[in-house]
Homo-oligomer: A and B are copies of this chain.
Amino acid sequence: MVTFVEEDPLPLWIKTAHSQVMIFIGFGCLLAFFRFYGFSGMVFNFLTATFAIQWAILIQGFFQFYYDGKIHLGVINLLNAEFACAVVLISFGAVLGKTSPVQLLVMALLEIPVFSVTEWAVLKYIRINDAGGTILIHLFACYFGLGVTFMLYRPSLNNGHAKEITSYPSDILSVMGTLFLWVFWPSFNSALTFKGDDQHRAILHTFIGLSSSTITAFALSALFNKRGKLTMADIQNVTLAGGVTVGASVDMMISPVAAYALGVMGCTACFFGYRYLTPFMAQHMRIQDQCGIHNLHGLTGLISSTAGICAILLATEETYGPSMYQIFSHRAPPVGDPKLLELQKLIPGLKPGLGRTAQEQALYQVAAVFTTIAASAVGGLLTGMVMKLSFMASPSDKDCFDDELFFDMPSDFNSIEELKTPMSNDEKGQLSSADTKV
């Protein structure tokens, strides 16, 4: 049974609506970048997102909002479910173009419970600071997706696929998706922070991180191109690295300069990941990361987690004042500690914590990173095994990256396809980078 909790829903709904724009429109457009796979990119994103959110409401409801024999339902559940949904969609990026909708639904069906259990265990037992969801959302999604794609390895696709290309309109559509993600990312990163100053910092740090990574992405794209030209795949993906990289410390007093630096670092790692790591992983590790989620969510997530740990180690009462025990709530004194009463005089309503030191909290963060990576990788491998079962209607290698397998196509699609046969040398050179998007 499901009931409602009382609360004024508008502020939460606004953040939820912004997150929905990112998920349905931002991701949907971004994933529609293949020339012959635009319907699938946008529509499978729609289908998978809708299914994942519903499923996450139930599963998270059971783990986090279940008491008095009921799942308690409110806009906050919706927001949490959108985050879980984002996890599935990021993982989807690893196998874009190579999976049937049935496979995607099965992936969501299995990923959501693994994610929810991991989230519940980490939040309940390890207890971490992770306002932007770097560890639980981005790292989990990345390593789960890599696990799945490892199992779905298709050796023949390592030589490229004739349809694995973009087109003029599909590249523009994909940039639009990037812009929607860019614009609303501060809402996403600040959605679950404390009100007031913490939220303020989360908005600004996210904006600053995105800005610096955007500028850096343009610079690197032009500098490392033979003819000094820009590559659309970089603009569609690498620009967003900063949003992930500031995540783990987004509500802390890391200073705008640090947020800026994080954006630059995350962007740089992401850029070179696309150039060198993704092809290497495909050739030598059987990991075909179609949209390069390991660059945009994995490498940046690791940098972000490290930065979060540094910020935790550096946090002192001198800098934060007593509000430190709000942001780092597990460092607040436990029930019964006389210091708690003292602090509650300064901050009425301060909740008792676990009395952890900075070092202890940092260790717990490290534990959370490893736990999350392990759980997600194992979960991904097992899920990939299930998705490989023959009745999952996996497309043949030849039919990858092609809408025609799944949709009744309008007649102009044939004339688009005729352009397919003669592929310019220019384009062949781009395959390895087109290979590695999102």
A interface residues, Cβ below 8 angstroms from B:
1-2, 4, 6-11, 13-14, 17-18, 20-21, 24-25, 28-29, 32, 35, 38-39, 42-43, 46-47, 50-51, 53-54, 73-75, 78, 101, 165-173, 175-176, 179-180, 182-184, 186-187, 190, 195-197, 199-201, 203-204, 207-208, 210-212, 214-215, 218, 225, 229-232, 235, 239, 255-257, 405-416, 419, 423-424, 426-427, 430
Contacts and interface: CB of A to CB of B under 8 A. Distances in A.
Given A168-B413, A229-B408, A230-B406, 19 more contacts: A8-B195, A8-B196, A9-B196, A9-B199, A20-B183, A25-B176, A25-B179, A39-B171, A39-B232, A42-B179, A46-B235, A50-B210, A51-B215, A54-B212, A73-B204, A74-B204, A225-B408, A232-B410, A409-B426
Given A11-B10, A74-B204, A229-B406, A412 B168 contact: yes
Contact of A46 (B2, B74, B214, B407): B214
B408 A232 contact: yes
Contact of A168 (B7, B207, B416): B416
5 contacts: A4-B200, A47-B218, A229-B408, A408-B426, A412-B419
A172 B73 contact: no
B410 A183 contact: no
Q: Is the interface of A mostly helix, strand, loop or mixed?
A: helix
A195 B7 CA distance: 9
Contact of A38 (B46, B168, B409): B168
A199 to B, nearest CB: 5
7 closest Cβ pairs, A-B complex: A9-B200, A20-B183, A411-B427, A50-B214, A167-B412, A24-B179, A166-B410
Nearest to A199: B9
Contacts of A166: 410
A163 to B, nearest CB: 12
B408 A32 contact: no
A214 B419 CA distance: 34
B46 A175 contact: yes
A142 B411 CA distance: 31
A50 to B, nearest CB: 4
Contacts of A406: 229-230
